[in-house]
A and B are shown apart, each in its own frame.
Chain A
């Protein structure tokens, strides 16, 4: 299994541009989530999904959209990039159910907005 795959690894955007960060997992996990990590900080939850067709907001959802049309994929869309969105973005997944606690993380996308 490849686990959680994020693309691209690096991206530079200009203010106002839009783009989609891709996240895919091949473990048939029901739960997926997106975090951002600013320099020297812990991770903050942006959006999450408990299954296909179901999404919800996390701690810092403004400026981001998500959708979950399949179990495997959970893309994160930046509608109009701002310098404040410069960060490292991590996607994570885990099996559904209350007893499945272990999150698997991707390797991250480094995003710079100029």
Chain B
């Protein structure tokens, strides 16, 4: 699986957009980008995923660069409850390597 690189930590003001970057420069054509988050002491929660087009759902937007070597998760109006560790994961569409591999993620702290 392609490896991902994320900043260790980020801060964001409440009500502002939180933009979390992820580098996946070795991503291959059949690999998806997934985002999960983990609020303290809870199980991870799925946020969004995409292949090459930008995606949006009720939680967030995912912007993938045209060369697919990096992506950005956008939380449009961050709240205190969005404070969590955010994981960017690259995973092939099929095969035994489809199991998700979680790295260390980005600790996002939303400040009042």
With both chains docked as a complex, state the minimum distance between the C-beta of A39 and any C-beta of chain B, in angstroms. 12
Q: Are B43 and A90 in contact (CB under 8 A)?
A: yes
Residues of A within 8 Å of B93, CB to CB, are 98
Contact A56/B96 with A42-B105, A101-B32 known, Cβ cut-off 8 Å = yes
Query: Which A31-84 residues have C-beta < 8 A from chain B?
Result: 33, 35, 40-45, 48, 56, 58-59
Query: Which B66-101 residues have C-beta < 8 A from chain A?
Result: 87, 91, 93-94, 96, 99-101
Of B91, B96, B102, the residue contacting A44 (CB under 8 A) is B102
Top-8 shortest CB links A-B? A105-B43, A42-B102, A43-B102, A102-B46, A42-B103, A90-B43, A42-B104, A105-B44
- Residues of A participating in the B interface, judged by any CB pair closer than 8 Å: 4, 33, 35, 40-45, 48, 56, 58-59, 90, 92, 98, 101-108
Q: Are A48 and B99 in contact (CB under 8 A)?
A: yes
- Residues of B participating in the A interface, judged by any CB pair closer than 8 Å: 32, 34, 36, 41-46, 49, 87, 91, 93-94, 96, 99-105
Q: Are B104 and A107 in contact (CB under 8 A)?
A: no
Cβ-closest chain B residue relative to A42: B102
With both chains docked as a complex, state the minimum distance between the C-beta of B111 and any C-beta of chain A, in angstroms. 22
A sample of 11 more A-B contacts (CB under 8 A), given A33-B99, A90-B44, A101-B91, is A35-B102, A40-B104, A43-B102, A44-B102, A45-B99, A56-B96, A92-B44, A98-B93, A101-B49, A103-B36, A105-B44
Query: 22 A-B pairs, CB-CB below 8 angstroms?
Result: A4-B43, A33-B99, A35-B102, A41-B104, A42-B103, A43-B44, A43-B102, A45-B99, A45-B100, A48-B99, A56-B96, A58-B99, A59-B101, A92-B43, A98-B94, A101-B49, A101-B91, A103-B44, A105-B43, A106-B43, A107-B43, A108-B41
